[in-house]
Amino acid sequence: MITVHTVLDLQAQITRLKAENQSIGFVPTMGALHEGHLSLMRKAKEEQDVLVVSIFVNPLQFGPGEDYDTYPRTIDKDKELLSQIGADVLFMPSVKEMYPRPLHTSVSVQKGADVLCGKSRPGHFDGVLTVVLKLFQLVQPHAAYFGKKDAQQVAVIQNMVEDFHIPVKIVPVDTVRERDGLAVSSRNVRLTPEERKEAPHLYQSLQLALTLIQHGTTNCDVIKEKMREYLKQHTSGEIDYIDILTFPTLTALSEVRGTIIIAIAVQFSEARLIDNVIVDIAYEKGEVSCIARS
């Protein structure tokens, strides 16, 4: 594995790979790697000739009072995992390298950022898209791999790629879960032992929503209220949001139909957890078909 820290060194590696007609799979991360990240990398290695990974904790996507300074940084462990999985290039820039001067231009999300996580984190997805666009420009990947756990992120990135005709295929990869259903996340380590026991109920609330739909409940407000009651009964966390939206356009619904996302966020004492399912809803002869994608 070749590790580079500067834009010039990365560009030299990309130029070499392109000259060799190697297809590039790209997985951008903020480090603190876990099985969820590794599943993206395995997928990229299956489909592309080489795997490029970035580790960069992007300050633009953290708001005031958020956990930028305390975000877990486990570089030695991350490098070991990347070597084991067979990453070809690791790009690990400093903040100064990525932002050598105050930005004169940035990306602003016009639709899809004022719901779910974006509703309580204004400017977050502007920061995400700005750094992702910069990384796409530098890495020039054939395909980039993102986890469905961060489904809103997947949606806004897909929309940016389509809006700007960026020549990269976005590949969403299914959420990796612990045996009890909890979505794997770098923030799970911040849960107290009691909260860790409660956390799987986030996924169970999503399963409750699917069961309700399969049994004929189509009103979004009714489904959300049942989920809220379940989470209040089974967790001590504060519910940030429960929502049902179209996907990937992320618009509001009154009745479930088409492709939707059912998403939740719960704030525990030291960790904010998110989870979701993306579902295809179809009606035939008065019966509802509910097929989960993640």
Say what angle helices 7-19 and 124-139 make with each other, to 10 degrees.
Answer: 50
**52 annotated as belonging to a binding site for a ligand:** no
**18 annotated as belonging to a binding site for a ligand:** no
What sign for the dihedral angle of Cα 7, 13, 14, 19? positive
**140 annotated as belonging to a binding site for a ligand:** no
**153 annotated as belonging to a binding site for a ligand:** yes
Catalytic residue among 5, 37, 104, 165: 37
Phi-psi region of 226 (alpha: psi -120 to 50; beta: other; left: phi over 0): alpha
**33 annotated as belonging to a binding site for a ligand:** yes
**Residue from 176, 154, 151 nearest 41 by CA:** 176
**216 annotated as belonging to a binding site for a ligand:** no
**Residue from 32, 33, 92, 30 nearest 59 by CA:** 30
Residue 150 · residue 263 · CB < 8 Å: no
Annotation says 37 is catalytic: yes
**151 annotated as belonging to a binding site for a ligand:** no
**186 annotated as belonging to a binding site for a ligand:** yes
**36 annotated as belonging to a binding site for a ligand:** yes
**236 annotated as belonging to a binding site for a ligand:** no
Peptide bond between residue 248 and the one before it cis (omega within 30 degrees of 0): yes
The residues carrying an active-site annotation are 37
Residues placed in the known binding site: 30-37, 61, 147-150, 153, 176, 184-187
